[in-house]
Structure 1
Amino acid sequence: MTTTTAAVPASRFALARQVADAVLFEGYVLYPYRASAAKNRMRWQFGVLVPPAWGPRHGEHSVQRTELVAEPRADASVAVELRFLHARRRTVEEARADGSFAAVPRLHLPDRVLVPWDEGSEERVAMSVRVADLEAGEVSLPFTRPAREEAEPVLDADGRQVGRLVRRTERIDGVLRLHAAPLDVPYRSLKLTAVVENTAGWTPPDEGADRDAALARSLVAAHLLLGLSAGSFLSMTDPPEWARASVAGCDNRHTWPVLAGEDGRADVVLSSPIILEDHPRIAPESAGAMYDATEIDEILALRTAALTDQEKREARGTDHRAAAVIDLADTLPPEVWERLHGAVRSLREITGETTEPAAAAPPAGPALLDEDAVFRPDTPWWDPAHADPAAPDRDRITVDGKAVGAGSRVLLRPGLRRTDAQDLFLQGRSALVEAVLRDVDGGVHLAVTVDGDPGADIRREQGRFLYFQPDEVTPLEDA
């Protein structure tokens, strides 16, 4: 049997690793990025594999299991990379006059406030093995990360040591197991099983041991990257008809495998503790990691930039990644802010450098066309010059027997099937129709501003309106 622990080729996992990094640090430190914030006192929620002696008592697990269907070619090998965070406890000590150090809850410096914090150091376990060897039997790779203690001096502006940071890391033990079994289907396919297990021999000293003690010995945000040297994996959400039963029979525990890497390829899988879709991507507009995927980047960056100087000092002293977020929000150039404000994906897909828009047919997509009339082969469909200005019949529509267009007043009655919480508050409000818009699928939408809205003039200047379909309005007498 030939088994190696060689590193996974960087080119194989490069694109998938961008998403894997987001998974690894999801929730690592949340806005407002201070250790004192309530939301940062309960961390490490995703992909936590705890010591087996602690998990059953507290409803957590020590094993993560991935099963998926693969179609490897002859002599193919599978490369697997396990990635996780190892919690590292950091305490703050202040220097005394006699040369000793004493633990303190905080240490004030001109640019930051240092506080105790649990850092996360990235760990990686990699192996590559021939698929034929996996069919012959299970292949296991045990791994250990030893306990250690490190001290980092803290210096003031004059170079004098005013304290130190002491980092203590507990021992972690685990095992990565791989196995492959042939499937009874028309094509040569295998069920590939990858198991990650925390095998730490640590036993809680008493029944009251808290979660922090277990986390120091846990695999945090554990996930796998798997790659085939030749062949492909099948999508677990959209498999071919012949493989649906085999895919349905896969037993995935505490993980969710999806196709990753380049579009059109299926030789890389990301098995994540967070549910993702096939071929997930990091938005190209994102200026950097903010470790808080529950927020929109623009809003999060604005809130971060608006923190007080004292709050920023506390955030910088919490963690170097938090400090990087503060610096990022403070230094974003205007053009990056504009990118964060929004993007229309359909424009990029249709007008990309490698493809040309169709000459005679309207493209598919949900984007709205302002007074969309005649498609001209020499003008992109999204260009204002593309629309025929001499089409007054398209500027107005008939609703309940009355002509409605720009300048008409309507009563809003949002449909329950298409509405959201904001629209519910507009039920029964009157509004002014600003434009009649048609999308590329032939749908009609009314752009409106609500009567009494103090920001209506600004919305009108920016072209930012609320949109309703014709059956969601009732015509009123025009002003």
Structure 2
Amino acid sequence: MSALTAGTASEDEVERLARAVLYEGYLLYPYHRDALKNRSRFTFGDLEPGALWQAECLVVGARARVDVSVRFLEDTAERRVEVERAAVAELTAGETAGETVLVSALGLGAGVTRLTVRMTNTTGARILATQALLRITDGEFVSLTDPPQAFREQAAGCRNIGTWPVLVGAEGARDRIFAAPIILPDYPRVAPESPGDLFDGTETDELLTLSILALPDAERHAITDPRARELLERTTALGQDELLALHGRLERPIQVGDRVRLRPNRRADIMDSLLAGKAATVVAVEEDLEGVLHIGVTVDDDPGADLGEFGHRFFFRIDEVERR
């Protein structure tokens, strides 16, 4: 798996993200069973027998319905426990069981519900990479990473055990939550340069690819795991352009005069909501005493923009603007 970054993700990309996290650490370089570090799997989200896993998040909408898919590895086999679509309002009266998975809800008032997905490992063996995908209809989830001011108290009351729920899908969407076994930002995605799963503890694709290409024949023949064989064949088939792309995308720092789109994400005040998505021009790049960069912009459709330096100027952190 390559670096995980924030960004827009389609349905297929969400599944790719879930798969990448599920199999991360499944097998480590040099990918054969005789290697010392492959005698004990290194995965995120391990659950010992009898241990509890729990994801909690906030739902807004009195008519909301939710689907839940809990996923994990049992030895090397992928398993899923699906909880069929259920009305959140009905879950406040009890629990819906899907094998060892229980889904319940608690009304918090004003149309806000705390949704709980809980699983106990009853397999008698350690399970790996436990995660869940939640989808909602006729309602929306609330970001726990950066909850709106009105929901911060309720968000602080969510208790997550062995997981970190984040919003996924198209940026700004509120219909899906990925309860990941690692800390991720809202709207994460697998870096587009990554040609496929590498399993190896989120190490850099470029370094791992070069290492795989340098494997001696004896070690290549020792790779018998089906997923590892697929990885080997995919890597050795990479063309020159694909190899060069593994260096990643080097982007010029934002400079005065750049055209940007505003994506405020800290919800400091009502002005942030009004400016979200607006086109703007960078007029200043300043660094505060803590080394944080702030981007000063003028908004294109601001009636006072023609006043130049005397017009309205707004400041955002660098992660709140994107180059157009």
Q: Same fold (TM over 0.5)?
A: yes
Using the TM superposition, give the Cα deviation of residue 221 of structure 1 relative to its aligned residue in structure 2, in angstroms. 0.9
1:329 is matched with 235
Partners of 1:363 and 1:440 within 8 A in 2: no
Using the TM superposition, give the Cα deviation of residue 12 of structure 1 relative to its aligned residue in structure 2, in angstroms. 9.1
Paired residue type of 1:130: A
Using the TM superposition, give the Cα deviation of residue 340 of structure 1 relative to its aligned residue in structure 2, in angstroms. 0.9
1:114-263 alignment, distance < 5 Å:
120-127=76-83, 128-142=85-99, 175-184=100-109, 187-200=110-123, 202=124, 217-263=125-171
1:42-53 alignment, distance < 5 Å:
42-52=40-50
Instruction: Please give the per-residue CA displacement for 1:29-70, whole angstroms capped at 9, x wherever unaligned.
Output: 111112122221221432222222xxxxxxxxx110111111
Instruction: Please give the per-residue CA displacement for 1:239-292, whole angstroms capped at 9, x wherever unaligned.
Output: 011111111111111111111112120110000111111111011111111112
Greater RCO (CA < 8 Å, at least 6 residues apart): 2
**TM-score normalised by length of structure 2:** 0.73
* Identity across the alignment (%): 38
Q: Distance in 2 between matches of 1:12 and 1:50?
A: 33
**TM-score normalised by length of structure 1:** 0.50
Q: 3-state SS of the aligned residue for 1:199?
A: coil
Change (3 A) 1:325 1:244: same
- 1:362 to 2:258 alignment: yes
Instruction: Please give the per-residue CA displacement for 1:388-407, whole angstroms capped at 9, x wherever unaligned.
Output: xxxxxxxxxxxxxxxxxxxx
2:6 is matched with none
Change (3 A) 1:301 1:221: same
Partners of 1:364 and 1:441 within 8 A in 2: no
- 1:309 to 2:217 alignment: yes
Change (3 A) 1:70 1:308: same
Change (3 A) 1:277 1:440: closer
Partners of 1:86 and 1:220 within 8 A in 2: yes
Q: Distance in 2 between matches of 1:182 and 1:300?
A: 48
Match of 1:83 among 71, 84, 92: 71
Q: Which of 242-251 and 40-49 deviates more? A: 40-49
Paired residue type of 1:281: R
1:269-308 alignment, distance < 5 Å:
269-308=177-216
Larger radius of gyration: 1
Using the TM superposition, give the Cα deviation of residue 312 of structure 1 relative to its aligned residue in structure 2, in angstroms. 0.7
Partners of 1:64 and 1:197 within 8 A in 2: yes
Change (3 A) 1:301 1:313: same
Using the TM superposition, give the Cα deviation of residue 229 of structure 1 relative to its aligned residue in structure 2, in angstroms. 1.2
Match of 2:248 among 327, 336, 342: 342
Q: Distance in 2 between matches of 1:132 and 1:248?
A: 22
Paired residue type of 1:122: E
Partners of 1:44 and 1:221 within 8 A in 2: no
Using the TM superposition, give the Cα deviation of residue 325 of structure 1 relative to its aligned residue in structure 2, in angstroms. 1.5
Q: Distance in 2 between matches of 1:230 and 1:291?
A: 37
- 1:31 to 2:29 alignment: yes
Q: 3-state SS of the aligned residue for 1:79?
A: strand
Q: 3-state SS of the aligned residue for 2:71?
A: strand
The unaligned stretches of length 5 or more in structure 1 are 1-10, 53-61, 88-119, 143-174, 203-216, 351-359, 366-380, 382-416, 419-438, 443-479
Partners of 1:70 and 1:191 within 8 A in 2: yes
2:302 is matched with none
> What do you get for the CA RMSD once the two structures are aligned?
2.7
Instruction: Please give the per-residue CA displacement for 1:135-159, whole angstroms capped at 9, x wherever unaligned.
Output: 22122222xxxxxxxxxxxxxxxxx
Instruction: Please give the per-residue CA displacement for 1:78-104, whole angstroms capped at 9, x wherever unaligned.
Output: 0000111121xxxxxxxxxxxxxxxxx
1:377-392 alignment, distance < 5 Å:
none
Change (3 A) 1:140 1:440: closer
Q: Distance in 1 between matches of 2:187 and 2:68?
A: 18
The unaligned stretches of length 5 or more in structure 2 are 1-8, 262-280, 282-289, 297-324
Q: Distance in 1 between matches of 2:40 and 2:103?
A: 33
Using the TM superposition, give the Cα deviation of residue 73 of structure 1 relative to its aligned residue in structure 2, in angstroms. 4.6
Change (3 A) 1:332 1:19: same
1:71 is matched with 60
Partners of 1:362 and 1:440 within 8 A in 2: no
Paired residue type of 1:129: A
1:371-410 alignment, distance < 5 Å:
none
Using the TM superposition, give the Cα deviation of residue 302 of structure 1 relative to its aligned residue in structure 2, in angstroms. 0.6
Q: Distance in 2 between matches of 1:334 and 1:29?
A: 26
Q: 3-state SS of the aligned residue for 1:277?
A: coil
Paired residue type of 1:188: G
Partners of 1:13 and 1:268 within 8 A in 2: no
Using the TM superposition, give the Cα deviation of residue 123 of structure 1 relative to its aligned residue in structure 2, in angstroms. 1.1
Change (3 A) 1:302 1:270: same
Q: 3-state SS of the aligned residue for 1:136?
A: coil
